[in-house]
């Protein structure tokens, strides 16, 4: 049984159908890169899985339980945590205050304040600074640390490199690579940088106009295949079976 199962999932923004009949499995400890152009439906899909956006059809099953109608905070307690696009920290609160609020809302487990500060050492000297005063990379590190403090079994990361300077992206991805190497949670990563997505994820799914049009093991999909599916240039080759 997969950790996460999506069955014919649909999601709308008013009259616009952003996610169309998406069926997808994510195994425990799997890292899945979800790629696609702007407007493909990636962010809406992640928000729907996390409970921040209500689906218009289909089912979401997490660890064998139907969570389709659970609220976002109930899903956090089940072990689903989202790092949203744009970080969305409490700007007036300090780094430590942002982290402690998250810890109080989540599950107990290995991730403590000391543990995340060790994983993101750049945050330790910033713990008493207001979030609004941080750089983009520092805010992104805080947002990921905040999600980890809920002790997730499924971590959803939405555009972690968006708007960051190259050196900040390197720092974020170094920490992310270390998390993936530990293999103690499943990760779904939305990323527009195909090179980074293919480098860190074991499996990849490409969305186009709300649908998944290509899926398989990252090592078995070449960049030409993914690019074609990404832009809808031609019908993508037959999907490789995910593991």
Asked if 94 and 101 count as a contact pair (C-beta separation under 8 A), the reply is no
* Pick from 101, 19, 32, 95: nearest CA to 60: 19
Helices and strands (DSSP H and E) totals, the chain: 8, 10
- Residue 54 scores a pLDDT above 70: yes
- Residue 95 scores a pLDDT above 60: yes
Give the pLDDT confidence of 155-192 residue by residue, as tens digits.
999 988 887 888 888 888 888 888 888 878 999 999 87
Place of tokens 């107990």: 108
DSSP letters of 54-123? -EEEEEEEETTEE-TT--HHHHHHHTEEEE-TT----TTSBHHHHHHHHHHHS--SS--HHHHHHHSGGG
Q: Average pLDDT for residues 40-45, to the nearest whole number? A: 96
Give the pLDDT confidence of 105-144 residue by residue, as tens digits.
778 888 999 999 998 889 999 999 999 999 988 999 999 9
What's the token pair of residue 237? 């080759």
- Residue 228 scores a pLDDT above 80: yes
Amino acid 165: pLDDT? 83
Indicate the SS3 state at residue 116: helix
What residue spans define the domains of the chain?
Answer: 4-221
Give the pLDDT confidence of 5-17 residue by residue, as tens digits.
999 999 999 999 9
Indicate the SS3 state at residue 200: helix
Q: Is this model's pTM higher than 0.85 or not?
A: yes
- Residue 238 scores a pLDDT above 60: no
Domain 4-221 has CATH 3.10.560.10: no
Q: Average pLDDT for residues 83-90, to the nearest whole number? A: 85
Residue 5 φ/ψ, nearest 5 degrees? -130, 125
Tell me how far the alpha carbon of residue 190 is from its chain's centroid: 6
Amino acid 43: pLDDT? 95
* Pick from 111, 119, 154, 161: nearest CA to 139: 161
Residue 135's CB is within 10 A of a number of other CB atoms, namely: 13
């Amino acid at each position: 049984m997969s950790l996460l199962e999506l069955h014919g999932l649909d999601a709308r923004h008013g009259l616009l159908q952003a996610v169309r009949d998406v069926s997808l499995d994510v195994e425990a400890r799997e890292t899945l890169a979800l790629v696609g152009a702007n407007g493909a439906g990636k962010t809406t899909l992640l928000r729907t899985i996390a409970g921040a956006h209500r689906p218009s059809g289909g089912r979401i099953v997490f660890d064998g339980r139907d969570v389709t109608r659970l609220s976002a905070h109930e899903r956090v307690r089940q072990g689903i945590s989202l790092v949203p696009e744009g970080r969305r920290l409490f700007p007036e609160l300090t780094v430590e205050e942002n982290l402690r609020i998250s810890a109080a809302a989540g599950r107990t487990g290995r991730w403590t304040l000391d543990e995340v500060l060790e994983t993101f050492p750049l945050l330790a000297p910033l713990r008493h600074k207001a979030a609004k005063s941080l750089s983009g990379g520092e805010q992104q590190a805080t947002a990921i640390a905040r999600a980890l403090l809920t002790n997730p079994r499924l971590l959803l990361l939405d555009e972690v490199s968006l708007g960051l300077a190259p050196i900040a992206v390197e720092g974020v991805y170094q920490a992310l690579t270390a998390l993936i190497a530990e293999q103690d949670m499943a990760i779904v990563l939305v990323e527009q940088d195909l090179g980074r997505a293919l480098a860190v994820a074991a499996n990849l799914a490409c969305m186009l106009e709300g649908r998944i049009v290509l899926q398989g093991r990252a090592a078995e999909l070449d960049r030409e295949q993914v690019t074609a599916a990404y832009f809808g240039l031609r019908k993508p080759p037959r999907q490789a079976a995910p593991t």
